Amino acid sequence: MTRTARSPYIAVLTALLLAVLAVAGCGGGSDGGSGGPRIAVTTSVLGSVVRELVGDRAEVRVIMPNGTDPHEFQPSARDAARLRQADLVVVNGLGLEESLEDPLAEARSAGVPVFTAGDHVDVRRFGQGEATDDGAGADDPHLWMDPGQMERVVAALAPAVADATGVDVSATATSLERRLSALSGELAARARTIPPARRLLVTGHESMGYFARAYGFTLVGAIVPSLSSQAQASASSLAELRARMTARGVPVIFTEAGTPSAVAEAVGDATGARVVEVATHTLPDDGSYLTFMRDVMDRVVAGLRP
Ligand SMILES: [Zn+2]
C-alpha cells in the first residue's frame, strides 16, 4: 500500500477517500488522518507517557516540541488547530501552559475534552524548600519529576482515554503503572547511595521540588527563585543563595533549560560549586520517560557523590 500510494491515480483515490472519511467523521471520535483517534499533549515528557499508554491505538501529537522551554513556549495557529481537532487534549496544568490558555479555551468550547494531569497528583506548593520568595504557595507544575505522581496520572488518564476515544487502555495502564512504581523504587535506591546530609539541590529554577520530596533531597535554592525559568534572578536572592550554599557546602549547581548560565557560573565561582546541566524539561534521544528519569537521577547522584 505504501509503495503503490506513490502513483498519482492511487493518491487521488486516497485523497477522495480521506475527504469522505473527514465528512463522515465530523463530530465523531475518529478522523481521516491516521484512521485512529487523535490525542494532543502539551509537553514532550507528558507526551512520552501518553504514547506508552496508548501505543499505536491513537495518534499522539505533542504541541511543544521537545527541547523547547515550556515556560516560554508561544503557540502557532497550527498548534491551536491541533488542539481544536483532537479527540482528547492532555495538559500538565498547574500554570505550566499559560501561553496555551486561549487555544485551550477554544478547544474546550469546541467540545474537546481536556484532561489535566495536575488534577490527579499530590500538588506541591512553591517555597517549601529552604528558600522562600515571591509566589510562595503557588502550585508547582513540575509533577513529571516524580514517577509516583505520573503513576497517579496514568491511572486517571486511562478511563479518560476510553471516554474520549473509545480505546480501552486499561491493560496497558496496569503494566505502565507497575513499571513506574518499579522505577520509583529503583530511583529511591539510587538516591540512598548519597548520604542524606549531601542530598542538597541547587537548580536553575525551582523545577525539582517533586523530585526532592520523593527522594529525600533538600532544596537549598535556585538561581532563579521561581517556578518558571522566565523570572529574573536578583542581586539579593543571589546573595542569599550564595550564603546558604556556603553554609551547607553545596557541591553542585544543576542548571537546565532557560538558566542564565553566566549567573550560574558566577555563583559556582563564588561558592566553589561545580555547574552541571540536567535535562529536567527535555526527553532524551530514545524518547522514553523512564530513561529521562534515570538520566536525571544519574546526573544528580554523580554530581553529589562524596
Ligand atoms: Zn520548569
Q: pLDDT tens digits, residue range 72-94?
A: 899 999 999 999 999 999 999 99
Identify the DSSP state of 2: T
Q: Tell me the CA–centroid distance for residue 205 and ligand 1, in Å.
A: 7
Nearest CA among 268, 224, 265, 263 for reference residue 245: 268
Task: With beta carbons less than 8 A apart as the criterion, state whether 219 and 130 touch.
Answer: yes
| Domain coverage including residue 21 | 1-33
The answer to whether residues 50 and 177 belong to one domain is yes
- Total count of domains within the chain: 3
Surrounding ion ligand 1 within 5 Å at CB are: 207
Q: How far apart are CA 66 and CA 88, in angstroms?
A: 20
Task: With beta carbons less than 8 A apart as the criterion, state whether 196 and 216 touch.
Answer: yes
Q: What is the pLDDT of residue 137?
A: 81
SS3 232: coil
The answer to whether residues 11 and 147 belong to one domain is no
Q: Tell me the CA–centroid distance for residue 143 and ligand 1, in Å.
A: 10
The answer to whether residues 146 and 210 belong to one domain is no
This prediction has a pTM of 0.86
Q: How confident is the model at residue 4 (pLDDT cuts 50, 70, 90)?
A: very low
Mean pLDDT of 5-22: 48
Q: Tell me the CA–centroid distance for residue 207 and ligand 1, in Å.
A: 5
Q: Tell me the CA–centroid distance for residue 201 and ligand 1, in Å.
A: 15
Residue where a domain stops, chosen among 183, 213, 240: 183
The answer to whether residues 67 and 28 belong to one domain is no
The answer to whether residues 26 and 122 belong to one domain is no
Q: Tell me the CA–centroid distance for residue 58 and ligand 1, in Å.
A: 28
Q: Tell me the CA–centroid distance for residue 274 and ligand 1, in Å.
A: 21
Q: Tell me the CA–centroid distance for residue 202 and ligand 1, in Å.
A: 14
Q: How confident is the model at residue 99 (pLDDT cuts 50, 70, 90)?
A: very high
Number of Cβ atoms within 10 Å of the Cβ of 192? 13
Q: Tell me the CA–centroid distance for residue 74 and ligand 1, in Å.
A: 15
The answer to whether residues 267 and 136 belong to one domain is no
Mean pLDDT of 35-49: 95
**Residue 107, domain CATH:** 3.40.50.1980
Mean pLDDT of 151-158: 98
Residue 256 is assigned to a structural domain of this protein = yes
The answer to whether residues 203 and 291 belong to one domain is yes
Q: Tell me the CA–centroid distance for residue 3 and ligand 1, in Å.
A: 44
Q: What is the pLDDT of residue 192?
A: 98
The answer to whether residues 14 and 42 belong to one domain is no
Residue 125 is assigned to a structural domain of this protein = yes
The answer to whether residues 3 and 57 belong to one domain is no
The answer to whether residues 54 and 175 belong to one domain is yes
- Give burial (CB, 10 Å; 0-12/13-18/19+) of 224: buried
The continuous run of DSSP H or E covering 254 comes out as strand 252-255
Number of Cβ atoms within 10 Å of the Cβ of 196? 11
Q: Tell me the CA–centroid distance for residue 43 and ligand 1, in Å.
A: 11
Tens-place pLDDT, residues 207-223: 999 999 999 999 999 99
Q: Tell me the CA–centroid distance for residue 250 and ligand 1, in Å.
A: 21
The answer to whether residues 25 and 41 belong to one domain is no
Residue 188 is assigned to a structural domain of this protein = no
The answer to whether residues 289 and 157 belong to one domain is no
